[in-house]
């Protein structure tokens, strides 16, 4: 996902913070730190044993920033506090492991793989289609306030049909290719459907 300035990156980050998975053990508050080459989101996972919370483990989701683009397809999960230069949260559990953390990495990997797969999907939303006039925008499927592209027959410099990029105004597969070519969408991102 492309961004053009720090303000837009902050808006995208805020939208991601509001949409990240919460519940089912991911019970803390989502935080984000913007670094020079990545976005680092962090939260806590509350593990249970015999119906009671026994561990709290801190984890981080690291998303690279490369050439003005958020690389959602290259995200990584980390539970290494030293790697993220933070102090580990003290666990309330003492003694040997009770087994509650068994396969937690797989659980979190699966949860966020599903989230980031959905985050790569966009919807073409038709705003106006009558009497020869047409306008539409492309928004993120999960974060509908995240509009990445708008076009209209009223704008001579932004008419994708007249410019030859698409054959008709609802040709979302060709629009996807055009937005990938101009780096508005990453090559793993795409328009999934049309909302009339």
- Domain limits at 128? 121-195
Judgement on whether residues 94 and 152 belong to the same structural domain of the protein: no
pLDDT computed for residue 94 by the predictor: 44
Alpha-carbon gap, residue 142 to 115, rounded angstroms: 9
Residue 176 lies in a domain: yes
Among 102, 119, 136, the domain-final residue is: 119
Contact 69, 183 (CB under 8 A): yes
The answer to which of 57-66, 73-82, 130-139 has the lowest mean pLDDT is 73-82
pLDDT computed for residue 87 by the predictor: 42
Residue 1 lies in a domain: no
β-pairing verdict for 190-195 and 121-130: parallel
Tell me which of 66 and 103 has the higher pLDDT: 66
Judgement on whether residues 88 and 101 belong to the same structural domain of the protein: yes
Judgement on whether residues 141 and 185 belong to the same structural domain of the protein: yes
Query: Average per-residue pLDDT in the chain?
Result: 82
Residue 33 lies in a domain: yes
pLDDT computed for residue 155 by the predictor: 62
**CB-count burial class (<10 Å; 0-12, 13-18, 19+) for 180:** middle
Residue 38 lies in a domain: yes
Three-class SS string for 124-184? EEEEEEECCEEEEEEEECCCCCCEEEEEECCCHHHCCCCCCCCCCCCCHHHHHHHHHHCCC
Tokens at 15, concatenated = 């939208």
Using DSSP's 3-state secondary structure scheme, residue 51 falls into: coil
Among 60, 93, 119, the domain-final residue is: 119
Question: Model confidence over 102-155: pLDDT tens digits?
Answer: 677 788 889 999 999 998 999 999 998 888 788 899 999 988 788 888 888 776
pLDDT computed for residue 82 by the predictor: 53
Judgement on whether residues 134 and 64 belong to the same structural domain of the protein: no
| Main-chain dihedrals φ then ψ at residue 10, nearest 5 degrees | -65, -40
CB-based burial, 120-155: b 16+ in 10 Å, e otherwise: bebbbbeeeeeeeebbbbbbbebbeebebbebbbee
Among 53, 86, 119, the domain-final residue is: 119
Question: Model confidence over 167-194: pLDDT tens digits?
Answer: 787 888 989 998 998 888 888 899 998 8
**CB-count burial class (<10 Å; 0-12, 13-18, 19+) for 1:** buried
Provide the number of structural domains found in the chain.
2
Using DSSP's 3-state secondary structure scheme, residue 80 falls into: coil
């Amino acid at each position: 996902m492309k961004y053009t300035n720090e303000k837009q990156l902050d808006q995208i980050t805020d939208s991601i913070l509001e949409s990240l998975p919460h519940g089912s053990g991911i019970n803390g508050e989502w935080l984000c730190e913007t670094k020079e080459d990545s976005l680092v989101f962090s939260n806590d996972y509350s593990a249970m044993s015999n119906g009671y919370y026994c561990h709290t483990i801190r984890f981080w989701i690291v998303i690279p920033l490369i050439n003005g683009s958020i690389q959602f397809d290259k995200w990584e999960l980390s539970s290494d506090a030293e790697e993220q230069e933070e102090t580990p949260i003290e666990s309330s559990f003492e003694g040997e492991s009770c087994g509650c953390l068994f396969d937690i990495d797989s659980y979190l990997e699966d949860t966020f793989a599903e989230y980031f797969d959905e985050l790569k999907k966009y919807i073409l939303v038709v705003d106006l289609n009558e009497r020869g006039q047409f306008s539409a925008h492309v928004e993120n499927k999960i974060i509908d306030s995240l509009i990445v592209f708008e076009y209209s027959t009223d704008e001579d410099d932004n008419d994708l049909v007249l410019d030859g990029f698409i054959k008709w105004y609802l040709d979302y597969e060709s629009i996807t290719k055009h937005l990938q070519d101009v780096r508005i969408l990453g090559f793993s991102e795409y328009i999934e459907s049309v909302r009339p």
